[in-house]
Chains A and B, each alone.
Chain A
Amino acid sequence: MEEVLYNVLGAIATFLVAFVVGMTYGGLNRKITARVQNRKGPPFYQNFIDTLKLASKKSAIHHGVMQHFGPAFLMVTSVMSLLIVPVLTHNQWFPNLNFHGDLIFLLYIMVFGPLGMALGAGQTGNPNSAIGITRGLSQMVGYEIPWVLALVALMIQYHTTSIVGLMAVQAQSGTWLMFSSPFAFIAAVMAMLGMFSYSPFDVVIAPAEIASGPASENGGKYLFTMMSSGSVFAFVKLTLYVDLFMGGADNIVILLVKTFALYMIPVLYSLTTVRYRTEQSIRWFWGWPSFFGLLAILQAVIF
């Protein structure tokens, strides 16, 4: 019983860290983007202010039960994947379900939330939400291909399908997988561009076009939940990449350095490009990224 309690407490602690880090990164993103565009930009803690404001608001209306469930689904996904991805190695304060954290499980639990959210957004009846969702799902099919190619390459090269297993491989050999499986890393990073849906892959929310898409009918607490879940999820994704390709992290500082470095890739790439149409982005993912993914598999098979 005590163990369960510790686990729950640990999970809450993990969640708080993820929330803070994710929010800060989001704020930094806005700041950096602004500076590159030669604006002053909001302070890096602007996201905290926004969420606090949203959380304090009261909603007056709803469109049905699923609208309530939608953000909850999203949150479940973020927390579940947070529990499965090992945050820090050798640290008892981040004990989670990662002892059986399996990659394929993670792949599937990661779509649980978006799909639930999509249902919630669907019930609002706003056509923009549905349009955004169809774009998002289509784009997901696009970037999942290089992503899975990369993961399969790792799995077959190191004969394990678990995240912990892959981390153990790196600890044993002392080399990060981004060096020993470079093609997989390239493919995975390219897929990550899609996962973050920053420009050029931001057709999903396209604020000026479809009024932020899925989120368009949500305000107040709903939007707060969605935003915080998004931040946590961003942290999870970055941590996962660090775990898979950069040998994980022993303490929080190393984790922050590594994740921030990774985070800069989609942020900076987004500054240099303009929005793709959905089919363009799908085809983009099935082009070079998938090619690198195939190279990765080839490498895994040959070596």
Chain B
Amino acid sequence: MVGTPVLFIAIPLMAAFLIPLLGMIWKELVRIVPGLVLTYLLILSINLLDHVLAHGPIVEVIAGWGPPIGINLVFSALSGFLVVLMEFLGLLVWAYSYRFKRNVDYEPALKYFLMLMMLITGSVGIVLTGDIFNMFVFIEITSISAYGLTAFYKGRNSAEASFKYVMMGSVASTFLLLAIMIIYAQLGTLNMADIANKIHLMNPTLKIVSYIFFVTALGIEAEIFPLNGWAPDAYAEAPGPVGAAFAGIVVKAAVYAIIRYTYTIFDLSGTFNFLIIIGMITLIIAETAAIRQEKLKRMLAYSSIGQMGLVMVAFGFGTEEGVFAALFLMLNHAIIKSLLFFSGSYLTYNSTDKKISEVNGMSKFLPITSLLFALGAFAIVGLPPFAGFWSKLAVMTAAADSNMILIMALVLIVSVVELVYYLRVVNRVYFYKKEADVKPKRPTVNALIVMITLGAIILLVGFYPDAVTGLLHKASAGLMDKTQYIHNVLSVR
């Protein structure tokens, strides 16, 4: 073993304090160091995941207090997979953002990269932690970084979007705290495994109420309808790569939290159906809203919301196949939607409105970016032989095996809608005449490398899904096996 899970939290926090100091030595270091940190964490996470897949989950106890009293971090196949994904995407976002805007001063750059790092750290923390209050802390870290990143451009619109986000986020915090209070008052513990072990002792009404509060709080971050009002504005006003980070990292963490609560901690009946219902509503509303958008990033934002709804639906099947499909979807969504945000940002680089009509005819000026955007669009709607197809097939298979024929039909009908709006944009990129006043901007080399990497992964997963399915199967088996989780955590001394 080359490290412990606690490093995922400790190193970035330490770096966050050091970076401003390093910036005094050489200004460029504030840009470089976060990347180094993320690279190291990515390597670390891959190594740990490799170890975990071979030897079983690692449970890390912090400060010597064993569970259920102390704080612990759980690095299992599931959380490991998500951590690798997040660190990887984080690294890509960093690489892409490096010199994204040429004229950014030292001060904003420092804030941007610091907040980006903290955003990733918070999300990783949410996934790793085994303690609900600790999770609350990480959610706050993530949210605050996210507010800052949303308001990065100092304009009226960004401020408004960020303010909406703050407002919703504080509502979320309130509900989360309330839920934690109810649990602690009832069971006297904050450790997830311990709560799961004792949940049957809880007052049934309070149990439901606390679950509802949890879902409401986390649902705001996980962009569940109707709690996702902040999302389109935040995506649209934040810098392009931040959109990718939101879609790929923050939302994933929030969904993980909901799933952890639903699968491991609470033993309520009907939660799975509940997930399906809210997932379906989110999916349908978001995709239908997306088709009528005039701004590219808003469209991508709604699409992202819809995809997360579909992930919810897949988790709601409650079978191992369903979990597998949902994780596969999360993976694909993280990769593909990031690619779309990345390439979409360059397609509308110099525009203030980010209107869809401004991407017209960009293929002549940005051939590679356009190609990658088209690839992403084809992949996300699930056309073979790209990555999105396999997750779609997995979702459909899982749905069929759960006899959810109506759900299948609805999901597929919504897919047609999704297809329409993505193809409309791709057609514009390739077949329309460029608008006269739009000035295309060539992507930087690092951005290009990032996008090509993502494109390559899409093709790799598309042609050789076995590259990830083994891992996903293990992860989904881990989530399904609740008693094993409890045992793993509580047996650590």
Contact flag (A, B; Cβ within 8 A):
no
**Which residues from chain B sit less than 8 Å from chain A, CB to CB?**
none
